[in-house]
Amino acid sequence: MRARFTLPARRQRAPLEHLVRDSYRWIYSRDGSGPPLLLIHGLSGSVRWWQRNIPVLSRSFTVYAVELQGFGGNRNGRPLPFRESADSLAAFMGALGIERAHIAGHSMGGHIAIYLAAYHPERVNRLVLAAPSGMLRRGLPHMVLRLATHGRYEAPSFVPTVVMDALRAGPVNLLLAARAILRDDVETLLQSISAPTLVIAGERDALVPPGVSASLAAAIKAARFVVLKGAAHNLMWDRHTAFNQAVLEFLQEGSAAYPAGGPGAESAARATSAYVEDRDGSPAPEEASG
């Protein structure tokens, strides 16, 4: 049977907030209360990519989801280089009076989060990297071929959101961002990351295969590596229950660990891996030392 796609339903929620400071313009949502958590979307993304996560995460955190320059409602402009994007997000936090926050980035957003953690460590409490780019080391034609197989595993319900956001960003911004992703390698930055880090991979991710994410996690001093069974690249959508639980457990574990100063001793988190699957909608983590 051929899958039927429908436009994503509009949910009643507060309008996105706008903030302009110096040369930067930010568009973002703010939900919940508690310690701050900043969400950074991936290539062609928007705040809407987190709509299955924000309602859960905002029960424990004040969740800020930004729309990067060149994308979403902030599409009137070209994407910023990764270092400048990180500087922009650090300035965003400062403008809102946020001294430190948990940072979670997906795909290109994870790429930017790595820069933020490396160059602005004083701003980062705990770090979540979901299928992060930064170590793909492939040319644009190879990425196009990956994209051709990408949709085979994605949740059909997510396709309309991806298409609409890609159309909003436009081909020029998509090409510029994709080229920047493939030309940049974060390996030299990873060893400088001191924040406790959770790297999450999708078992069926055709764009950032689990092996790439595993190598990235291994290069970070205090990183855990989690694979979500059956998940594709947009794992926070198609395996949102398992994703939300993995993120909540990781962030809440360190909620009182270091309210100020550095992350401290996190050697216990090093070289830890997990395999998480949804059973009847409930995640069941099964940890094994790696």
Give me the domains of the chain, ranges plus CATH numbers: 17-258+266-289 (3.40.50.1820)
Q: What is the pLDDT of residues 145-190, one digit of tens each?
A: 555 455 555 677 777 788 888 888 888 888 888 889 888 889 999 9
pLDDT of residue 74: 77
Indicate the pLDDT class of residue 261, thresholds 50, 70 and 90.
very low
Q: Where are the beta strands (DSSP E) in the chain?
A: 17-21, 24-31, 36-40, 62-67, 101-106, 124-130, 197-202, 223-228, 272-279, 282-289
d(CA 290, CA 278): 21
In the DSSP assignment, the letter for residue 6 is -
d(CA 153, CA 204): 7
Pairing of strands 272-279, 282-289: antiparallel
Is a pLDDT exceeding 70 seen at residue 11? no
Residue among 30, 16, 21 at smallest CA distance from 72: 16
Tell me the DSSP string of 201-249: EETT-SSS-HHHHHHHHHTSTTEEEEEETT--SSHHHHTHHHHHHHHHH
Q: Which residue has the higher pLDDT, 79 or 106?
A: 106
pLDDT of residue 140: 53
Q: What is the mean pLDDT of residues 32-45?
A: 95
pLDDT of residue 83: 95
Please answer whether residues 219 and 187 qualify as being in contact, where contact means their C-beta atoms are separated by less than 8 angstroms: yes
For the chain, the maximum distance between any two Cα atoms, rounded to a whole number of angstroms, is 56
d(CA 67, CA 27): 6
